[in-house]
Amino acid sequence: MSKQDTITNFDAVKEIVATYRDMPGCLMTILQKTQDEYGYLPFEIQDAIAEELGIPTSEVYGVATFYSQFSLVKKGDYLISVCLGTACYVKNSQLILDRLALELGIEIGATTEDYKFTLEPTRCLGCCGLAPVMTINDDVYGGIVPNDIPDILAKY
């Protein structure tokens, strides 16, 4: 995957806004559908949504930055989510997260330079029986210890 490029094609934005604009309280749904389409919500996308809806970009930005689900930056091909819900935390999931940051050479929350991996903590994946647990895209790894990390990363 290449670096974050400026998006110039807003056809999908127009289509999404046209579909949902008449639904009461449509902004969040539009942002969710747009992020599904583009992967993230950079400023140019927010501008396009605001223009289509006839509202200030600040309003779009306000909602986009409020919710953790929305990302203003592009993420890597593989999203590594380490559960920091309480059940996982008391079973040392922080150590898993720290080890991943060490192995990948990035800060927690960052993306590797080649846009291969993004490392994020997440709040409760809801499978506390597998604690500590992490996911890499759709793959789930439960009951892991820090030393499992190098082998797991090697699969990708």
**What residues make contact with other proteins under the rule CB under 8 A?**
24-29, 31-32, 62-63, 66-70, 84-87, 89-92, 95, 98-99, 102-103, 122-131, 133, 140, 142, 145-147
- For other proteins, the closer CB: 1 or 131: 131
Lay out the sheet containing 139-142: strands in order across.
117-122, 78-83, 133-136, 139-142
**Residue 67's CB: how many other CB atoms inside 10 A?**
10
- Least Å distance, CB 2 to other proteins, is 27
- For other proteins, the closer CB: 1 or 72: 72
Let me know if 129 is exposed, middle or buried by CB neighbors in 10 A (0-12, 13-18, 19+): exposed
**Helices and strands (H and E) in the chain: how many:** 7, 4
- For other proteins, the closer CB: 7 or 124: 124
For residue 62, which amino acid is it? G
- For other proteins, the closer CB: 6 or 147: 147
H helical segments located in 39-116: 43-53, 57-66, 86-89, 93-104
- Least Å distance, CB 32 to other proteins, is 6
Let me know if 134 is exposed, middle or buried by CB neighbors in 10 A (0-12, 13-18, 19+): buried
- Least Å distance, CB 125 to other proteins, is 8
- For other proteins, the closer CB: 1 or 150: 150
- Least Å distance, CB 28 to other proteins, is 5
- Least Å distance, CB 151 to other proteins, is 12
